[in-house]
Structure 1
């Protein structure tokens, strides 16, 4: 027993020493020890990889071949030794023997799944993707299972740079495993550039044409378009499924809601109009009708210069909705929309307050709706230059809603109120809490305003620049655009060397745009791109330039150039998805 223990100790010591030599690149010393250890079968697995690699490093190909053949004789069930032998022939430029050995390997492995799985890592390690693919396909052929090894083949095709073939395997897997998110994850991770996206779309369209009975490909294409923010193209597919399968418009309505949440109001309006026309008896009809008007409202409010007639037309549409369907939980939000249009765009503050107070009085036990109306009332009081009334209403909602989403909105409004009135420290204190808000939009707004205050507070002893800037921000909130523009001109002259200079230019550019002063807007946005290219507003300004050339000036080529510049110069920009979509629209890629 003592002798056996001593032999085991020596064996372990030699193995440790051989490994140390190997790791230090002293391959001759390592080989000497490994050769002795290889004489015992029980050492085989422990030494194989290092021993074989050391022999290869020393170009001791004959010795390596003898070693491997001995291992194959002793362990015929371990196919990895045969794989290493084929690889050895390849490394020693014995091309014909290597090819024959690989074919024998494929033939043997394809008959036994355990061998297939054993050899996968070997082929990845030796970068022999085509051989791996051949083995997997041979195994599939022998099994007579058309979807066998889908995932393994998809990965192999990916590493071989054959993404179309990868997608074929991915889709095959998805059809047999419809509940899995593997397909979506693979597309998101590996289909990135324009050429790959185009290839994916063409492949899906072909699949849809060849397999009209399978809705799976339509669903993947819809999902893909949603990821790209191309809701109009998603609608085309969803509408086709709705008509073919008789889905009652539900999926189109849900897609419309998603487009609305993503600020794609024109696409959302088309979808809402579709379900209104096709399904006037649907349960969601009242919601769809109201949201359709809201889409038009957002489009009108963001089309400059604003048309008073269009605003009045929106109010009439909301009134018609309430008259046709009554004041119910499905339509009550129309009252809020009407009130805000009266207050912000027709300067009829008293009418706005009257509508909101009536809405609160008739809301019954719908406390969320009441609190939303109170937030709107607070905004109207800001328009009336009664900030303390506004603050009181915001605080009521904070107390009523506590930790709810509406409480966070109320806190943000109060923080902005403090900012407008020059109470910057108090504003920042609230904003810093809201950076952790549950809603990303609120957290982002809080972060932006907090940084604006932090970066510019106290840079002059009187805080004059920050106070003046906040005052202009308030005028813009109140839609007093002409007055704000005059003050912005003065501000820029006074503070063109101040850290607020780019922020002033940004506000001035946006205000010129709202007032349809296109050339002046171009000047300010260009000034930001040229002089503040590394600051936070550079991509915002570049997007506004692209938008103006696209929508206002009709200069397609210039707009495409600017959209492409956003993608190349600001790859992480929040405008990336929209810029890509607009670029492709202008290039003529889309057919709806």
Structure 2
């Protein structure tokens, strides 16, 4: 028992010292954080003297001495540490920093070089020292460290990405680009990694110019090396310079005998980014260069037609001559490749052109009635043709035929998204014909659709019906509106405007007044009467800005001012309004992007 008591009594000073040490360390750190360096120094010096191998105490003592500009004591303390552990490179960096602070560049450089000279052939040690230099802003010394490490390890490739990162941190544009391109010299497999690192840097025009300069230089020096033109092509694509990319793609295509594969992919990328002229050039090159025997001949002709159609219809600025020229191109294509299974997509596109733009529903219906009779295992493509055919029947006021087409697709593909699309279209027919209860019941089921687009559309229409059919009189007003909506869908724009005006006159208190304005704006947009469309959106913004359509109207008006009415300042003002007045709007991200573009933030 006496031995136990004696043992416990001996432990008391140990525990007491440990507790005091922790308290002193915490207090020293507190004094340092408060800028009371004198008090912090006393405590850190006490702690360091008892445990000089504790890096936290050493660093705390060092920092307080430097903070008080007590450089002589700091130098003595660091040199003492170096004697204790001459292989610890961090002490040489600390010493060099003191010399540098006091203007002694000669001794500072000597200390830094000593740290590098003491390196051993160990990759981890090299990275550790370079990181210490990086953390203290000594980028040239970090570069020297990696270069020394390469010599020690007899490996001129190692530390490539680390070196490139040092040049980035240093702000050395030429060094950065050269370092990343050197990586490609040693490994073509690293191209995607190098592109990933360069992608964010290319937001700065200095990097774009430097990369382009160095790539051209390397292409001239090594004309048979594919990596450099591939990188140049990639850079042009990042900058949305598809014409520049096409020059490189064509050169690679001819050199590697690629039969247009790379150019075809570039055409697809240009189309996706809405650079339709560049996309057309890509497909036309394949057609002209390789002719009917080329591997991509038919695919290029197909995509060329699709691109030409998208180009004139998306811009909403086409003439009757444009449409007729495009129609003739489709007819020529189908005469060449036939109206069989391989051209179902093109037949569908031509029917769409007739129905939606040339306004020849009989031709579109005739085309698709022939297409859906084709024998093929591609039942899904036929189903999409049936849905389109249903749309055109509805546009032609053949409601039952439309419902029949939708119903067939629903029956044939019960558990697939295309069947949900068919059910949504049938629910819209019920809405158009005034059967709102049945339409809403179907839409409520479709709210749980696996397709986010169908689900969102179903929710929107269901809520619209619910909000505007609360009273018996509102059912009458809603009936007027849905019929007008169908007239818009059928391109009977004059009749639709008359119906909407009659609705507003007959039901002056209806909750649909903002929707009437929005619907009329849609009609004027379709007619390309942009001034009248702008008036409608302006009225919406002034009278119904707090309603659901407020942000829609403001965004549409901003887009009109920007693209068609050539009033950039007004467009900027409206985009800014969306960001400030409607912070929760789905248009905020796009409005911010367009605002910055118009302000010139992204101009190089």
Q: Identify the residue that residue 584 of structure 2 maps to in structure 1.
A: none
| Residue 178 of structure 1, CA deviation | 3.3
| Residue 352 of structure 1, CA deviation | 3.1
Say yes or no: does 1:179 pair with 2:189. yes
Say yes or no: does 1:25 pair with 2:26. no
Q: Distance in 1 between matches of 2:57 and 2:80?
A: 14
* Cα deviations by residue, 1:327-352 (Å, 9 ceiling, x for unpaired): 44432222222333343345444443
| Contact map agreement 2:41 2:64 (CA 8 A) in 1 | yes
- Where structure 1 has 5 or more consecutive residues not aligned to the other structure, the ranges are 551-557
From 55, 71, 78, give the equivalent of 1:68.
78
| Residue 326 of structure 1, CA deviation | 3.0
Q: Distance in 2 between matches of 1:269 and 1:56?
A: 67
Q: Identify the residue that residue 165 of structure 1 maps to in structure 2.
A: 175
| Contact map agreement 1:563 1:583 (CA 8 A) in 2 | no
| Contact map agreement 1:123 1:129 (CA 8 A) in 2 | yes
Structure 2 CA distance for partners of 1:20 and 1:79, relative to 1, 3 Å? same
Q: Distance in 2 between matches of 1:69 and 1:212?
A: 55
Q: Identify the residue that residue 235 of structure 1 maps to in structure 2.
A: 246
From 537, 542, 552, give the equivalent of 2:558.
542
* Cα deviations by residue, 1:525-563 (Å, 9 ceiling, x for unpaired): 67789996982454554344333257xxxxxxx669969
What SS does structure 2 have at the residue aligned with 1:25?
A: helix
Say yes or no: does 1:78 pair with 2:88. yes
| Contact map agreement 1:416 1:427 (CA 8 A) in 2 | no
Say yes or no: does 1:153 pair with 2:169. no
What SS does structure 2 have at the residue aligned with 1:370?
A: helix
What SS does structure 2 have at the residue aligned with 1:336?
A: helix
| Residue 206 of structure 1, CA deviation | 5.0
Q: Distance in 2 between matches of 1:565 and 1:227?
A: 29
Say yes or no: does 1:218 pair with 2:229. yes
| Contact map agreement 1:207 1:217 (CA 8 A) in 2 | yes
Q: Identify the residue that residue 138 of structure 2 maps to in structure 1.
A: 128
Q: Distance in 1 between matches of 2:207 and 2:578?
A: 21
Say yes or no: does 1:89 pair with 2:99. yes
Q: Identify the residue that residue 458 of structure 1 maps to in structure 2.
A: 467
1 or 2 for the larger relative contact order (CA 8 Å, sep ≥6)? Answer: 1
Aligned pairs (5 A) from 1:248-259: 248-259=259-270
Q: Identify the residue that residue 477 of structure 1 maps to in structure 2.
A: 489
The root-mean-square deviation of aligned C-alpha atoms, in Å, is: 4.7
Q: Identify the residue that residue 555 of structure 1 maps to in structure 2.
A: none
Q: Distance in 2 between matches of 1:488 and 1:200?
A: 58
From 437, 444, 448, give the equivalent of 1:429.
444
What SS does structure 2 have at the residue aligned with 1:343?
A: helix
TM-score by length of 1: 0.78
- Where structure 2 has 5 or more consecutive residues not aligned to the other structure, the ranges are 580-587
| Residue 385 of structure 1, CA deviation | 2.9
TM-score by length of 2: 0.76
Count of aligned residue pairs for this structure pair = 574
Q: Identify the residue that residue 386 of structure 2 maps to in structure 1.
A: 374
Aligned pairs (5 A) from 1:182-221: 182-192=193-203, 197=208, 200-201=211-212, 204-205=215-216, 207-221=218-232
* Cα deviations by residue, 1:70-106 (Å, 9 ceiling, x for unpaired): 2211111110111122223344565554344334445
Q: Distance in 1 between matches of 2:511 and 2:220?
A: 57
| Residue 55 of structure 1, CA deviation | 3.9
| Residue 110 of structure 1, CA deviation | 9.7
| Contact map agreement 1:505 1:525 (CA 8 A) in 2 | yes
In our comparison, the structure showing a higher alpha carbon Rg is 2
From 241, 250, 271, give the equivalent of 1:260.
271
Q: Identify the residue that residue 554 of structure 1 maps to in structure 2.
A: none
Structure 2 CA distance for partners of 1:375 and 1:170, relative to 1, 3 Å? same
